[in-house]
Amino acid sequence: MNDYGPGFRRCTPINYAVFLCALTAASAALADNEAAPLNYFLHSYGPAATPTMHLGWVFVALLLAILIIVASLLAGAVFHKRPVEDFRKIGREEEGMPWIYIGTGISTCILVVLAIYSLVTLNVIAKPTHVPGLTLTVTGYDWWWKVEYENDDPARHFVTANEVHIPVGVPVLVKLKSADVIHAFWVPVLAGKTQMIPGLINQQWLEADTEGVYAGECTQYCGVQHAHMGLEVVAQNTAEFEKWRDAQRRTAPPTSAAGANAGQKIFLDQCAGCHTVRGTEAVGAHAPDLTHLNSRRMIAAGLLTNTPDHLMQWITHAQELKPGARMPSMVLTPAEASSLSAFLSTLN
């Protein structure tokens, strides 16, 4: 009955809080910044994310302090010295209410302050400080992203995939749609996430302070390849952005070399049902627009870097690399593969 566990004193709640903090610090240190592209807790690169990051620091600091205080109280409660008394003696019921009054009172004050701070932050990030300079639409598909740069002039309207380019220092309004199930658009170092819900058009804004490539992920479970639905936001200075945009508006050049011609024929036969290459007869709408395929850094929604080797691997072994993806593994003879590769290499 009165068996005081000898092991208990070795690990007090204070040691325990220290252990947790050490665990946190160790895990965070082991994942250095370069190696954690989605680390929004330590990095933010735009005004839609920075206030939230600061909010996060304040919350974590304050809540860790509260944890340590409460853990110390608990440790004190368990271990403080007491006169030895008969086991059967029972303490009085009425004592102790000040604990609840003071503890709950202080907690309530802290909560009110935190609630106000978080509401103020919400208000700050809800809208950009000035009118968005660019509007684009991102549509979630199983398991990739269609990116549309809208323009009243159809000739200036274009579509790309999995890579969003934005000019630095300009608030960008992103309209969010879904073509199938619910996805969520999330580029953590630039802004929080927003769901893409079929039948609704959601929107969020983001803005990059500095040039760079910022990783994003789908964060709403959307099926078998939810794990491989990445995107990238490329923030460029205005001149480079304009240059990129003008290039994207162009249609694909006519092919001239014999190999490329043969490759184009294979593409039109086997790929055009789903993919579009503007300037050709390929107008499929179920898969990424490939008009400027080679301008992108990644393929298969962030799965592979965009090299000719990876590209052919992807075409012939898509179902092994991304099981369940809508892209089939194409069966091609070596000759066909090399022609197709030659054609795709023209899509700059």
Taking CB under 8 A as the criterion, which residues in 61-100 touch another protein?
A: 63, 66-67, 70-71, 73-74, 76-78, 80, 82, 85, 87-93, 95-97, 99-100
Residue 140 beta carbon to another protein: minimum distance, rounded to whole angstroms: 12
Q: How far is CA 138 from the centre of its chain?
A: 14
Instruction: Pick the binder of another protein from 152, 199, 256, 269 (CB under 8 A).
Output: 199
218 binds another protein (CB under 8 A): yes
For residue 252, give the nearest of 225, 212, 284, 292 by alpha carbon.
292
Instruction: Pick the binder of another protein from 18, 31, 61, 257 (CB under 8 A).
Output: 31
- Measured CA to CA, the distance from residue 186 to residue 110 in angstroms comes to 30
224 binds another protein (CB under 8 A): yes
323 binds another protein (CB under 8 A): yes
User: Which amino acid type is present at position 310?
Assistant: H
| H/E run at residue 150 | none
Of 198 and 254, which has the nearer Cβ to another protein?
A: 198
Residue with tokens 């003696």: 89
Residue 3 beta carbon to another protein: minimum distance, rounded to whole angstroms: 6
Instruction: Pick the binder of another protein from 45, 59, 159, 208 (CB under 8 A).
Output: 59
Q: Check if the beta carbon of residue 187 is closer than 8 Å to that of residue 207.
A: no
Three-state secondary-structure class, residue 55: helix
Of 26 and 283, which has the nearer Cβ to another protein?
A: 26
259 binds another protein (CB under 8 A): no
Question: Who contacts 50 (Cβ-Cβ below 8 Å, separation ≥6)?
Answer: 44
Of 44 and 248, which has the nearer Cβ to another protein?
A: 44
Tokens of 103: 């503890």
Number of residues near another protein (by CB under 8 A): 103
Q: Where are the alpha helices (DSSP H) in the chain?
A: 13-30, 50-79, 97-126, 238-249, 258-270, 308-321, 334-344
Instruction: Pick the binder of another protein from 15, 18, 24, 297 (CB under 8 A).
Output: 24
Residues 140-169 that bind another protein (CB under 8 A): none
Tokens of 258: 């014999």
Residue 122 beta carbon to another protein: minimum distance, rounded to whole angstroms: 5
CA separation, residue 271 to residues 198, 204, 249, 292, 327 (Å): 26, 33, 22, 15, 10
Of 31 and 285, which has the nearer Cβ to another protein?
A: 31
Residues 166-195 that bind another protein (CB under 8 A): 176, 180-182, 184, 186, 188, 191-195
Question: Who contacts 139 (Cβ-Cβ below 8 Å, separation ≥6)?
Answer: 145, 146, 148, 176, 177, 178, 179, 196
- Measured CA to CA, the distance from residue 262 to residue 345 in angstroms comes to 13
Residue 292 beta carbon to another protein: minimum distance, rounded to whole angstroms: 25
Of 113 and 247, which has the nearer Cβ to another protein?
A: 113
319 binds another protein (CB under 8 A): no
Q: What is the DSSP letter of 257?
A: S
Of 39 and 261, which has the nearer Cβ to another protein?
A: 39
User: Side by side, which strands form the sheet with 163-167?
Assistant: 163-167, 230-236, 212-218, 183-186, 194-196
Instruction: Pick the binder of another protein from 135, 137, 202, 313 (CB under 8 A).
Output: 202
Residues 111-140 that bind another protein (CB under 8 A): 111, 114-115, 118-119, 121-123, 125-126
